[in-house]
Amino acid sequence: MDTYVLGLALHPASSWVADKRLEEMVFDTAKAALDDAGITRDELDHVTIAACDELDGRSISSMLLSAPAGAYLKDEIKVTDSGLIGLCLEAMRIESGRFHLGLLSSWNKSSKAPFEDVMRMRCEPFYTRDIGLNASIADGFFARAVCDAYGISESDANGAVRASYKRASDNERGMRAAVPSLEEIEASPYVAAPLRKMQQAPVTDGGVSMVVCSGAWLKKHPHRRPLARLSGVAWRVDNYQLGKKRLSALTGFKESFQKAIAMSGLRDFSLLDVVELDSQTAFHEVAFRRALGLPDSCNVSPSGGPFAQNPYFCTGLVNAAEAVLQISGRAGAVQVKGTKRAAAHGCHGFAQQGNAVAIFEGA
Amino acid sequence: MVKQGSDKNENVIYGEWHVRYKYSVGKVAGKFFDGLKQKKILATYCDKCKLSFLPPRAYCERSFEPCSGWIEAGLEGVIEAATIVTAEFENLPKPPYAIAYVRLDGVSTAMINFVRGLDLSDVKSAAERLEPGTRVRVEFKDNPEGRITDFHYVLPTP
Amino acid sequence: MPKNRVAVIGVGETVFKNNIVDKTYVELAQQAAKAALDDAGLTPDDIDAVVFSMAPTQFMGVNDVDKWAVDLVWASGKPFMRVHTGGATGGSALHAGYAHVASGMYRTVLVVGADRVTETPDAQHVLNLIWDLFYEHDFALNTVTMTALATQRYMHRYGTTEEQFARVVVRSRKNALKNPYAHLKGNITVDDVMKSPRMSWPYKLFDICPRSAGAAAVVLANEEVTKSHCSRPAFINGIGGRTSTVFMGDRVGPFADAELSDEAEFVSAGKEAYAQSGITNPMKEIQVVELYDPFSSTQFPQLESLGFCERGQAQNLSDEGAFEMGALLSVNPSGGTLCSNPIGVTGLVRVADAALQVMGKAGEGQVAGVQNALSTAIGGSVQFVNCTILGADYI
């Protein structure tokens, strides 16, 4: 692959960005990414957006949000699956040879819309909606299934919650929430058993933009130093219909990692220095780790992952930004020294129906 | 809120979705709406492009820089585009009514609002009176509330 | 230059109707997917990746409906993404599919979508909600009124009459008689159009597209698969797209970058697509256009912006019969969007109909000697535009 990240920006994490319209939040982040890359909007030859109308609180939300994302009079395409899927499309647009310098943006202002009700409306109306699934309930099913499949105990899960918040507390880019005690976690109410409230990563507001370029562009601009090279990218969707196998086999998750690793030319996962996982709950965190069998030498979610910030729709792309920051030595207090290869994972849909993985290396 | 039912021999399931939102007003809209309460129309401008914008916005889409400041728009302007709505649409005002994009004096872009006080009984001749290039003026409500409907456009009295 | 050649090797469409009561949304998508696979001579296992085309889901009432459709379009276990650029979605989805293959990362892609615009009676209410709540929502902007505004402006600039637009409707409905999938079709007169109920000046009911349910799909393939499976593919030789500002008031007057009523964003999008495909004289080198035209007025500005004729000339060419099937330029031989508009997938239907012409599979509606065809898609208030050039040979 010959695709590079030239610059990036993360919007400050918040439980509710109250002082800006969504479009202002998007503009601030997009502009900051352009500044970070040292390029102007004029130089872009395309824009890619990843966003969700229902979470944005308006139909065809890109009508209002494409220009703040830098797309005025640019060739722009929007995907609706997740921020990290936006990176997948962006990578293909660059790899096609048709485009050379793009701005990718994704965001989440869940405070604006009734998050779980939006999720509930993802139920098909015939068999599921009357019974009612939403993100939490689907994750409750997921938790049950992976507990059985991977032998995960409540204590494993609660330990993972504390460990995640501990890592997150060092991350200046995150919410820096207090690390809860085991007692607090154990006492938090069930949301959808066996999932407890404090085992969920709270959804936050945020956004991320990245400037992405081709190797050909870099050759023409030799004074530019990219932050990282995208060496592998893969994504998979699983069945919509939930069931034991679908919930516990983590097929899409594993295949996305395997395919991305293969593309990057790495022999196996052990060569990854950092892996940022999209663990929406503690059960995801434990199950994902066990499914990949990562060695201890691999630092998993040094950023704290969604427990640092969870702008739900683009948490996977935030993970990608964190991975790039690690590669480029800009991760601050959570920097893992000497990071040469980092993977970022994102998931979306009911009980991680979709998964995507991006692998970065030093440029 | 879903019930099974029959509708003209078709097998259907009914559903409805009522959604409420809270939209942050943001840096710029608040000042604009406050201006309306004082019967002023405030536009933002971009120093780089030398353009001024209605609706006002925090940044310029073309230069991609934050807007430099505010100006007061003139209270007269020119119609750029107009239409007369005669069909009744769900959840929209009862027809007939006219709407137009008007570029107010001193502002680079046009802004939409109702055109009131026009006899709409003969649509074709009313449309002629709203041709692009026609000058109109702004008329404010007596007690503006800080919403875009605080003002509308009127044709100058002949 | 793209790294890899990309061709359409299979097309599937369903009949477009007001409502399709014997199939659910996902079953419709499956029907089109199957038809495209059969047309391409491929099985689901031969498909490497899937792109789903779907615009606002508020019409059919299931959020992220593409995820529900996964199980039925044989996408499970594959790379999958959904594209949404309003009405332009089908064209953008095609461009996303194109990137999958042109990048060399995937050999085959299924691009599929569906819509059921009448699943809700509140369609225009939904479309009113796309407008800025603070500044524009109160003014009853919806797709009809917003386009009416631009058309009033076009008429003022070029002296176009309502009758000239009506003639476009007459031509489209007549062409649609030869399209087994078209929703509206028939022999109507200019008088029929002029007498239909007034909606928003200058539109009458017949100037406006129907709300359709239906689905469409295309199979894209790389050079190797194309050579072994398709004797007459439609090569994607050029793509171009532009997104403009949501503020229509920025696109009128002396400071506009691209004039609203001219749909002038198509100028640069078209130029890029032409440069890619080596086309220098569209009118001479392109035989068929399948334009995205939900309103009778939108063919003229598109044709002019895409360089087929000078500004203000399209209406004269139209009156002279230059756009009839088999004439100087066959414009919307399928009947176009004026006759069928399953919004979430309409842009893909445009591509599909153009591809059928290039592949020689357009049946009764086939224009002779199609070497190149161009399709367009439009979303928002002509805010999102894209175009695709398909050719019988690769450039």
Pairwise CB contact (< 8 Å): C253 & B97: no
Tokens of B67: 């807007």
Contact C24 A122 (CB under 8 A): no
Indicate if the pLDDT at residue C38 is higher than 60. Answer: yes
With respect to residue C79, please indicate whether it lies within any of the assigned structural domains. yes
Is the pLDDT assigned to residue C225 strictly greater than 70?
yes
Q: How confident is the model at residue A39 (pLDDT cuts 50, 70, 90)?
A: very high
- Could you tell me which chains touch chain C, where touching means 3 or more CB pairs under 8 A? A, B
Q: Looking at this predicted complex, what is its ipTM?
A: 0.97
**Higher-confidence position of A6 and B157:** A6
Summarize the confidence of residues A167-190 as an average pLDDT. Answer: 96
Q: Which residues contact A123 (CB under 8 A, 6 or more apart)?
A: A129, A131, A132, A133, C62
Nearest to residue C90, comparing CAs of C214, C207, C175?
C214
The residues on C that touch B, with CB distances below 8 Å, are: 21, 61, 121-125, 128, 132-136, 138-142, 144-145, 148-150, 152-153, 156-157, 197-202, 245, 247-250, 252-253, 255, 257, 260-261
- For range C356-383, the mean pLDDT: 97
CB proximity B148 to A under 8 Å: no
**Using an 8 Å Cβ cutoff, are C348 and C196 in contact?**
no
A344 touches chain C (CB under 8 A): no
Helix (H) or strand (E) holding A181: none
Cβ–Cβ under 8 Å, residues A200 and A139: yes
Facing A92 at nearest CB: one of C57, C103, C386: C103
pLDDT at B4: 40
Lowest mean pLDDT, pick from A154-163, A292-301, C159-168? A292-301
Residue A151 CB partners (closer than 8 Å, separation 6+) = none
Q: What is the pLDDT of residue B124?
A: 87
Banded pLDDT at B3 (limits 50, 70, 90): very low
Provide the pLDDT for residue A114. 83
Better-predicted residue by pLDDT, B9 or A54:
A54
On the question of pLDDT at B25 being above 90, the answer is: no
C319 pLDDT above the threshold of 50: yes
Residues in contact with C316: Cβ distance below 8 Å, sequence separation at least 6, in sequence order: none
In percent, how much of chain A has pLDDT > 70?
Answer: 100
List chain C residues with CB under 8 Å of A54. Answer: 57, 63
Q: Which residues contact C76 (CB under 8 A, 6 or more apart)?
A: A237, A238, A239, C70
What was the pLDDT predicted at B29? 81
Instruction: Compute the distance between CA of residue C207 and CA of residue C311 in angstroms, rounded to an integer.
Output: 21
| Chain A residues with CB-CB distance to B23 below 8 A | 21-22, 57, 112
Q: Does B61 touch chain A (CB under 8 A)?
A: yes
C381 — pLDDT class (breaks 50, 70, 90): confident
How does pLDDT run across A54-112, given as a tens digit for each residue? 999 888 899 999 999 999 999 999 999 999 999 999 999 999 999 999 999 999 997 76
Q: Residue B91's pLDDT band (boundaries 50, 70, 90)?
A: low
**Overall domain count for chain C:** 1
Tell me the percentage of chain A whose pLDDT exceeds 90: 88
The Cα–Cα gap between A81 and A71 comes to: 19
Check if the beta carbon of residue B87 is closer than 8 Å to that of residue B110. Answer: no
Q: Per this entry, what is the length of chain C?
A: 395
What's the Cα-to-Cα distance from B34 to each of A105, B29, B39, B112, rounded to whole Å? 32, 9, 9, 19
Going by DSSP bridges, is the β-strand pair C234-243/C203-204 parallel, antiparallel, or unpaired? Answer: unpaired
> Is pLDDT above 70 for B20?
no
C225, C229, C235, C240: CA torsion to nearest 10: -60
Whether residue C370 is contained in a domain is answered as: no
Domain ranges within chain B, ordered by starting residue: 25-154
CATH code: domain of residue C90: 3.40.47.10
What integer is the mean pLDDT of C358-365? 98
Using CB atoms, pick whichever of C61, C153, C248 lies closest to residue B132. Answer: C153
Confidence of residue C313 (pLDDT cuts 50, 70, 90): very high
Name the minimum distance, in Å, from the CA of A313 to any CA of chain C. Answer: 12
**pLDDT digit string, tens, across residues A242-253:** 988 999 999 999
CB contact under 8 A, B25 and A21: yes
Q: Is residue C122 very low, low, confident or very high in pLDDT (cuts 50, 70, 90)?
A: confident
**CA–CA dist C137, C128 (Å, integer):** 7
Residue A142 token pair: 């997921």
Q: Answer whether C203's CB lies under 8 Å from C162's CB.
A: no
Provide the phi-psi class of A48: left if phi over 0, else alpha when psi is between -120 and 50, else beta. beta
Q: What is the DSSP letter of A14?
A: B
pLDDT at A17 over 70: yes
What integer is the mean pLDDT of C115-138? 71
Q: How confident is the model at residue B2 (pLDDT cuts 50, 70, 90)?
A: very low
Q: How many other C-beta atoms are found inside a 10 Å radius of the C-beta of residue A19?
A: 13
* pTM exceeding the 0.90 threshold for the entire prediction: yes
- In the block, tokens 């450039």 appear at C395
Tell me the nearest-neighbour CA distance from A125 into chain B, angstroms: 8
Mean pLDDT of B18-35: 74
Kindly state whether B85 is in contact with chain C, defined as any CB-CB distance less than 8 angstroms: yes
| Look-up of token digits 């003229």 | C300
For the segment A241-269, the average pLDDT, to the nearest whole number, is 94
Q: What is the pLDDT of residue C1?
A: 58
- pLDDT-derived band at B8, boundaries 50, 70, 90: low
Residue C21 lies in a domain: yes
Residue A113 has pLDDT above 90, yes or no: no
Is B9's pLDDT higher than 90?
no
- Cα of B5 to nearest chain C Cα, Å: 14
In a domain, C89, yes or no: yes
Does residue B158 carry a pLDDT above 90? no
Which among C22, C139, C141, C151 is the top mutation candidate for probing chain B, defined by the most B β-carbons within 10 Å of its own β-carbon?
C139
**Chain A environment of C126 (Cβ under 8 Å):** 59
Tell me the residue range of the domain where C63 lies.
6-121+211-229
Most distant CA pair in chain B, distance: 63
Question: For residue B94, what pLDDT is reported?
Answer: 86
Neighbours of A17 (CB within 10 A): 25
Question: Is the pLDDT confidence value at A28 over 50?
Answer: yes
Tokens of C243: 């997104």
Instruction: Report which secondary-structure segment, H or E, holds A293.
Output: none
For B109, which of C144, C247, C261 is closest by C-beta distance? Answer: C247
Whether the pLDDT of residue C94 is over 90: the answer is yes
Pick from B17, B111, B123: which is nearest to C201 by CB? B123
Asked if C295 and C382 touch (Cβ cutoff 8 Å), the reply is no
**B16 band by pLDDT with thresholds 50, 70 and 90:** confident
What mean pLDDT is predicted for residues B62-77?
A: 96
* 3-class SS string, chain C: CCCCCCEEEEEEECCCECCCCCCCHHHHHHHHHHHHHHHHCCCHHHCCEEEEECCCCCCCCCCCHHHHHHHHCCCCCCCEEEECECECHHHHHHHHHHHHHHCCCCCEEEEEEEEEHHHCCCHHHHHHCCCCCCCCHHHCCCHHHHHHHHHHHHHHHHCCCHHHHHHHHHHHHHHHCCCCCCCCCCCCCHHHHHHCCEEECCEEHHHECCCCEEEEEEEEECHHHHHHHCCCCEEEEEEEEEECCCCHHHHCCCCCCCCHHHCCHHHHHHHHHHHHHCCCCHHHHCCEEECCCCECCCHHHHHHHCCCCCCCCHHHHHHCCCCCCCCCCEECCCCHHHHCCCHHHHHHHHHHHHHHHHHCCCHHHCCCCCCEEEEEEEECCCCEEEEEEEECCCC
CA distances to B100, C87, C308 from C152, rounded to whole Å, are: 11, 21, 22
Identify the band that residue A21 occupies on the pLDDT scale cut at 50, 70 and 90.
confident
Mean pLDDT across chain C: 94
Confidence class for position C60, pLDDT limits 50, 70, 90: confident
Q: Are C60 and C113 contacting, i.e. CB atoms less than 8 angstroms apart?
A: no
Neighbouring C-beta atoms of residue C275, cutoff 10 Å? 12
CA dist., res. B134 & res. B154, Å (int)? 11
